[in-house]
Structure 1
Amino acid sequence: MGKRGISKPTAIVLPAAVMLGLGLWGLDRGTMWRDESATYQMARRTLPQIRDALGTVDAVHGLYYLLMHPVLALRPSEVTLRLPSVLAAMAATALVAALGCRLARPRVGLWAGLLYATTPVVTHYAQEGRSYALVAASAAAATYLLVDAAGLVPGTSGGGGRAGGRASRGGSRAGGRAASRSGGQADRPARDPALAPGPAPGAASTPTPAPAPGPGPGAASATRVRSAVPVRGDASRPAPGPGPGGPEATGHTAGWRWAAYGGVVAATALLHLFAVLMLAAHALTLLVSRAPRRAWWGWGSAAAGAVAAVVPLALVARRQSAQIAWIRHPTPGRLWAVAEEFAGPSALVLAVNLLLIAIAVVRPRRRALTAVALPLICVPPVLLFALALHRPCFHERYLLFALAGIPLLAAAGVDRLAEAVSGRRRAVAGAAGVLVVGCAFVWQFPLHQREREPLSRQDDLAALSATVGRLTRPGEPVLYDPPKERRIAIAYPRPLAGLRDIALNTPGPASGTLYGIDVGPAELLRRLDGARSAWLIAADEPETHGPKAAVLTGHFRLAYSLCLPGIRLERYVRAGPAH
């Protein structure tokens, strides 16, 4: 890091590399769990079969299945299934770091990126073959595009910040070499006026090669110009420059920026519908940033286009809402549980993160960062909670995209403390911040280890399939009740290849469903005619014995039962002579 502090490329690349390493560590758990098996089987179908299935089930994941279709065509495996999520988490980490650099300075970006990468829940979804890591990356990209299009940069109160900041930096070149020393980064000057003491009376200013006024009062004036530029994001000292909007925020260029923002928001919501809630967070960001009318017009047009693009998906998803009927009505404790998971989850790390966030919010040094990060972590959870009171749909994975606000605020809090403790010693402050993140990772290392174990998810389909294969004999009939338990045979068919799926009428790919369509009880009884025994693979829930399972219990007696994680395996033998 040296005297010049942390460079912006380092602040972005280093956290992304850490995320890549954590994502690849233990990626092959040797098994899939039930949701991953849905991705695995849907993405391997033909495009017409995927289209037919999305009309009845999983429409909210349709774009993700289409993206995964060519990936799994290369090599269908558990590692290939999860690799896009690892890369997406790496991109999200880089974008969080870039936001920290843009809204504050490189060391804040570095800390925020490292905090994001080492959060256990982030690595959990980075190693899962579902869409949530991609949604988080896309939402982070949309947030960055919002900052760019609206001109939300340090030292400004609205949409004209970028132009003003650039004009200020141009003026500062006449007074010193701060901008050139930092590689053009206004948030890392050679001498920080917000922290360094002013020159002693009578002290001479350093001459510069740039044109400057003659000796005497003019030279002192040039020095004062350099020290007055708000390169460190001090909102109380706005930089001189063009009015709101600035040349960069108007005309054709601004239109393309807002179009890009709207397109990314739409793509994010098509990956998962609830990601559209980020629009409310972004609206609050513009409000507290006092964005000019031009920025509101641009954002409104982009938001309207994004919403219009996802309305058809929302209508289809509403018809398929029975898929999440297992989610219960939330309680206020669920909001706190999400906060614990995102900012912790261990008690010590949670407490430190909340303290740092409080420092960043109560005593903001960089108001643009707070204006972006605080709504992002607060607004989507509250809105989803309110929606879930009417129709239960509250789950942490639907809010993963909002987590980026926590490391940004925590890093801003660390930066605020570092300014008070280390003064101008930027290298010491940067190293201390990295050390804090490293200590948090070591403290939560057992949680990271647990995430890489087969039982870190709800079930272990590979182990279930192997167990059933050992206990059964080829040719025996098996009944899956409900049909979704057929996912064991779909994900890992080899151990169950010799069993007869006694109830299956039409397989999933041909029927446009996930798990196929079964015959009715009467046809099932006819198919069981002559069988002396049958196996039942049922969900491990008391209420799951339906009419088809009743055929077994009515004509067979229970001879063997085994409870496994997520399922119940039972063997029935005929009570009387076979017909």
Structure 2
Amino acid sequence: MLTALTSSDAPHAPSFPARRRRLRSSIVDGGWEPLFVFAATLVVTMAWSWVPSFWYDEAATLQLARLPLPEFVGFVRHRDAVHGLYAFVMHGWIHVFGASEFSVRFPSALAVAVGATGVFHLGRRWFGTAAGVLAALIFVVLPRMTTQGVEARSYAMATTLLIVAAVLVAAARERRGWALRVAVTGAAAAAVWMFAYALFVLPALALLADDTSLPGRTRIRRASAVLAVPGILAVPLVLTMIAQRGQVAWLAAQDVNPYTVLIEPMFGSAFWVPIGWALLCAVAVRAGRRVTLSRPVVSLLAWLCLPGTVLVVLSLAGTPVFTPRYLTMCAPALALLGGSLIGAARRRVVIAACVLVCVLSVPHYVASRLPTAKPGATDLRAATSFIAAHARPGDAFLLEASGPGGTRPRVAIAAYPHAFAGLRDIAFASSYVDTGTYSDTLVEPTFTKIAIDADIWVATRDGSAFAQQLAEHGYAQASIREVGGLTVGEWRREDARAAHGAGSRVRPIALG
């Protein structure tokens, strides 16, 4: 039997050394490189992610995710279906891993790492290994992604689900079978339910899935898997969003101009990055590099341009739906197109391009990891920590609730509720759960419920709010300090000051 095996099968089977070399090649080409991209991206994205304070949008995520499931379902159906799936994921996440800045932002960083790995895979598959590496690098350091990677919102997850769908579509073009089509449908539908405007990327994926050499029935099945079926599955979400359109009425005040449409979606305020990239592309074109309009390239162009075009047209037509961060989902297309343009150049040119891309991204990366990096440039954590460190049980607080969402001090209650444990909220009437919004119902402060020796801690943006009301009820300012971009004041009744001394109880502290 051994003789028969060696004589008949050995000539057709590779030798052991050959099999070992093939295995080694398989690990290097198909295993270690994606693993390295994933690990490096996760480390880079998560680095200092815990430093920025929570802001309005992240506080809204926490408010929704903390709700018990019955109240959660009711709130989503009434108010915020567009973020329902993401909030459901975070509901389970924070119950297991807690609600610290690191924990709450980790799923977004993980999504960016998975997305970068998918971008690398697609770039290598379509344009070569160097193009895949450069595309993954561009995706990771793109200012929009460095921001969304440390943002407790759904945009990074939706973007990654679209990348996963694209990877599955590319695989399905080469292998037949219902399992891949089901997987494509599931990834595309999940992306739309994670963030509804991902729906506008699906035509680009359908274009990628199409193959003119196949029979018409097969082409229809492929298009249905990536476009028609996910679109049908998204109908309940779209209908609910239409009913909840008042939730995004604030978008009517958003500027729709060339900068907010062409620069801000991918680069934010880092205007120097697209300038550097444009020079890099000009050098590549001058050197004779061209991008052939292959099916992947055409699909990527549609992915890059179609969502923004639809949102801008709808907004200009009187239905405000555009804000730059909604186009986070277009980042993979930009990264892959950039990689395809430069990736076929000589190795030292590709290395120089990688270095330039990284250098241009450093200022924004650093700025996005500062305590006041989030919109509004306020450090709610510092302000709440100050109050928690100096207030006594039984003291009261007043937090300003007006103004732009990113600068409202009252958001701190949702972001850092533990800081106000044991303190009295003298403006509170009813919870945001009862109002069906993300804002509590407030009333005029009830000073009569405060003990005579209790202080009132006031946080405002400029120190003027509540001052007149406090003075009318016999309170005088005992201390004031600027903390995290907010004015935090300690107010005490004048008769209490006379009884206990005019000095403030505030202890000197070192503010970072």
Structures share fold, TM-score greater than 0.5? yes
Q: What's 1:105 paired with?
A: 128
Work out which of the residue numbers 430, 438, 455 in structure 2 matches 1:506. 430
Task: Determine if contact 1:269/1:310 at 8 Å carries over to the other structure.
Answer: yes
Q: What's 2:382 paired with?
A: 463
Residue identity in the other structure for 2:231: V
Q: What's 1:85 paired with?
A: 108
Task: Determine if contact 2:399/2:460 at 8 Å carries over to the other structure.
Answer: yes
Alignment of 1:343-362 (within 5 A): 345-352=272-279, 354-355=281-282
Task: Determine if contact 2:281/2:341 at 8 Å carries over to the other structure.
Answer: no
Deviation at 1:117, TM superposition (A): 1.7
SS of 1:326 mapped into structure 2: helix
Q: What's 1:33 paired with?
A: 55
Work out which of the residue numbers 214, 231, 243 in structure 2 matches 1:307. 231
Work out which of the residue numbers 359, 362, 373 in structure 1 matches 2:300. 373
> Structure 1's 315 and 339: CA in aligned 2 closer, same or farther, altered over 3 A?
closer
Q: CA deviation digits over 1:498-534, x for unaligned, max 9?
A: 431123233345665534334x55x958868999986
Matched, 1:383 2:383: no
Q: Distance in 2 between matches of 1:33 and 1:574?
A: 32
> Structure 1's 91 and 510: CA in aligned 2 closer, same or farther, altered over 3 A?
same
Query: Once superposed, what is the RMSD of the aligned Cα atoms?
Result: 4.0
Q: Which has the larger displacement, 45-54 or 401-410?
A: 45-54
Task: Determine if contact 1:559/1:572 at 8 Å carries over to the other structure.
Answer: yes
SS of 2:78 mapped into structure 1: coil
Alignment of 1:526-541 (within 5 A): 537=459
Deviation at 1:107, TM superposition (A): 2.4
Q: CA deviation digits over 1:422-453, x for unaligned, max 9?
A: 4xxxxxx2x64244213321343232222111
Matched, 1:336 2:262: yes
Residue identity in the other structure for 1:323: Q
Residue identity in the other structure for 1:80: S
SS of 2:383 mapped into structure 1: helix
SS of 1:478 mapped into structure 2: strand
Task: Determine if contact 1:478/1:534 at 8 Å carries over to the other structure.
Answer: yes
Alignment of 1:426-445 (within 5 A): 429=347, 432-445=349-362
User: Between the two proteins, what is the percent identity of the paired residues?
Assistant: 25
Q: Which has the larger displacement, 36-45 or 267-276?
A: 36-45
Long gaps (5+) in structure 1:
152-161, 163-247, 423-428
Q: What's 2:41 paired with?
A: 19
Matched, 1:397 2:339: no
Q: Which has the larger displacement, 370-379 or 556-565?
A: 556-565
Q: Which has the larger displacement, 555-564 or 466-475?
A: 555-564
Number of aligned residue pairs: give it: 456
> Structure 1's 362 and 317: CA in aligned 2 closer, same or farther, altered over 3 A?
farther
Q: What's 1:176 paired with?
A: none
Deviation at 1:64, TM superposition (A): 0.9
Matched, 1:264 2:191: no
Q: Distance in 1 between matches of 2:386 and 2:417?
A: 12
Deviation at 1:496, TM superposition (A): 3.1
Residue identity in the other structure for 1:34: Y
Q: What's 1:133 paired with?
A: 156
SS of 2:250 mapped into structure 1: coil
Q: What's 1:203 paired with?
A: none
Question: TM-score under structure 1 normalisation?
Answer: 0.67
Larger radius of gyration: 1
Q: Distance in 1 between matches of 2:489 and 2:235?
A: 45
Work out which of the residue numbers 384, 405, 410 in structure 1 matches 2:338. 410
Q: Distance in 1 between matches of 2:358 and 2:328?
A: 19
> Structure 1's 112 and 291: CA in aligned 2 closer, same or farther, altered over 3 A?
farther
Question: TM-score under structure 2 normalisation?
Answer: 0.75
Long gaps (5+) in structure 2:
1-24, 403-407, 495-512
> Structure 1's 364 and 475: CA in aligned 2 closer, same or farther, altered over 3 A?
same
Q: CA deviation digits over 1:224-278, x for unaligned, max 9?
A: xxxxxxxxxxxxxxxxxxxxxxxx45xxx1x443332222111111111111111
